[in-house]
């Protein structure tokens, strides 16, 4: 007599929407893939094109070579791509001196912050950048201007003790991938201390960061655990985990792949939230859901915070080639 296998326990899954790739990430990845298609391998990429190991390894297999500095690139006619996070002005200057053919895949919303800092500087303002020290986007933004023109503030405590050269000539910009709450607290402290401080006309934290955090806020209070699919070096993914914890989720974890799941931590979960950082491909979300489906009977519902239809065109050299084809 055949004994039927034991029934799998049921697990309700609340899938956050939007999640995963944003328009800036799609543009950056498409830039590398289009360059490979047009020019062949290799295509050199300064820094990880986006902060996701799966994406980087996929592009590496197609012929992309990732470097941290242009000094690692040999004399070549191959394309050199700047990552979505943006670069200091010294990087394109060095590329021009070495006659590299460059493709700038900087997210347009990061470029917007670069332009803001330049405008403030031309108007004689000292600039406060709210962000995380060492993050490539922060390094790139600070590198738009001479040393000392941009001052980094990471916490409310630092905002409380920040001493400007001239409180009447002060402006702030922010990293695009911050926690909205953290940034708001720092901005509030700066405005409290320096009422004349000038901010951006439109919030610097990008639409994708905002929308993904809003979806997590809706799901976090009603689930037993939250999985954020993304890489540890992804700022926006780390912020999603923090937002889940801050909004009442008992256990939130950042996972890169299904093999990273600690099953004991989910043993008593009846309701699971799932989202993905802006640099995490949907295939990794599906991989993790498939892993859960092997152990549970899944009932999946989508919780939507916003609809997204943002599109950014490829860098101009690639558009010009496509137009000529």
Q: Which residues are catalytic?
A: 137
Phi, psi torsion values for 112, nearest 5 degrees: -55, -45
Structure tokens at 47: 């820094």
Rounded Cα–Cα distance for residues 140 and 257 (Å): 29
Q: How many CB atoms lie within 10 A of CB 163?
A: 7
Alpha-carbon gap, residue 52 to 172, rounded angstroms: 29
CA torsion 16-19-20-26 (nearest 10°) is: 160
Contacts of 210 (CB under 8 A, 6+ apart): 180, 203
Residues with Cβ within 8 Å of 71's Cβ and at least 6 positions away in sequence, in order, are none
CA neighbor of 23 nearest in space, from 206, 183, 203, 177: 206
């Amino acid at each position: 007599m055949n004994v039927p296998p034991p029934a799998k326990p049921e697990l309700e899954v609340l899938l956050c929407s939007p999640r995963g790739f944003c328009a800036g990430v799609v543009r950056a990845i498409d830039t590398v893939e289009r360059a490979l298609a047009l020019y062949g391998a290799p295509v050199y990429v300064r820094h990880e094109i986006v902060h996701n190991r799966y994406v980087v390894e996929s592009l590496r297999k197609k012929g992309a070579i990732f470097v941290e500095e242009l000094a690692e690139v040999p004399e070549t006619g191959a394309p050199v791509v700047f990552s979505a996070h943006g670069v200091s002005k010294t990087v394109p200057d060095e590329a021009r001196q070495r006659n590299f053919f460059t493709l700038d895949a900087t997210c347009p919303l990061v470029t917007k912050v670069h332009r803001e800092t330049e405008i403030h500087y031309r108007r004689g303002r000292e600039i406060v950048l709210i962000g995380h020290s060492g993050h490539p986007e922060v390094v790139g933004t600070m590198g738009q201007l001479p040393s000392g023109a941009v001052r980094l503030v990471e916490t409310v405590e630092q905002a409380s003790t920040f001493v400007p050269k001239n409180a009447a000539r002060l402006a702030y910009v922010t990293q695009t991938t911050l926690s909205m709450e953290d940034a708001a607290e720092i901005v509030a402290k700066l405005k409290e201390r320096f009422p004349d401080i000038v901010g951006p006309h439109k919030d610097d934290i990008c639409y994708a960061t905002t929308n993904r955090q809003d979806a997590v806020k809706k799901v976090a209070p009603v689930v037993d655990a939250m999985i954020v699919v993304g890489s540890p070096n992804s700022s926006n993914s780390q912020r999603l985990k923090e937002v889940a914890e801050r909004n009442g989720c008992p256990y939130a974890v950042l996972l890169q792949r299904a093999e990273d799941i600690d099953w004991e931590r989910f043993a008593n979960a009846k309701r699971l939230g799932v989202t993905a950082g802006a640099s995490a491909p949907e295939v990794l979300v599906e991989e993790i859901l498939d892993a859960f489906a092997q152990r549970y009977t899944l009932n999946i519902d989508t919780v939507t915070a916003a609809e997204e239809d943002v599109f950014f065109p490829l860098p101009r050299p690639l558009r010009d080639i496509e137009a000529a084809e």
